[in-house]
Amino acid sequence: MDVKFRYRGREITQAEVDFLKSLLAEETGSSRGALSKKVCEVWNWVQPNGELREMVCPSLMLELDRGGLITVPPVRCRAPNNVINGHVRDTALVEATPLRATLCELERLEFCQLRGTEHESLFRALLQSHHYLGYTRAVGECLRYLV
């Protein structure tokens, strides 16, 4: 078995490169995602949990394309850029006068978790307006509350 190189734990042989070339020649109208799924199914390339490696396969194909071994089809559409789409466009119109009272003097405080509610955009706008770092998209799991 003639191994060309190793990619994420998989040994890529000349036969597999040839298969990819023929598949790309046959499936000229297919998207990169559809090709990736088909390759994973034919190669039985799965993750430890049994799911297809549909996110790894396109990067393998791009690597082979950069190396001049195959030619992948052009990108049909770009995935949304979450960094650009995460920018806050709304402004929060809230009363900005500071409260001058003790907790005992205030009425009952209500803490509301915002995840999955219509108030998440208000949370982002408040952070953008009033936090010294502004707002950029959150990384990882986080909880958002308003009081």
| Contacting residues for 146 by C-beta, under 8 A, at least 6 apart | 111, 112, 114, 119, 122, 123, 126
Distance CA 69, CA 63 (A): 9
pLDDT per residue as tens digits for the range 109-124: 889 998 888 888 888 8
Averaged pLDDT for residues 126-132: 83
How many other C-beta atoms lie within 10 A of the C-beta of residue 40? 19
pLDDT per residue as tens digits for the range 53-97: 988 999 999 999 998 989 888 887 777 765 555 555 566 677 778
| Contacting residues for 60 by C-beta, under 8 A, at least 6 apart | 7, 8, 10, 12
pLDDT the model gives residue 125: 84
- For residues 30 and 73, the answer to whether their CB atoms sit within 8 Å is yes
Is residue 101 within a helix (H) or strand (E), and if so which, with residue range? none
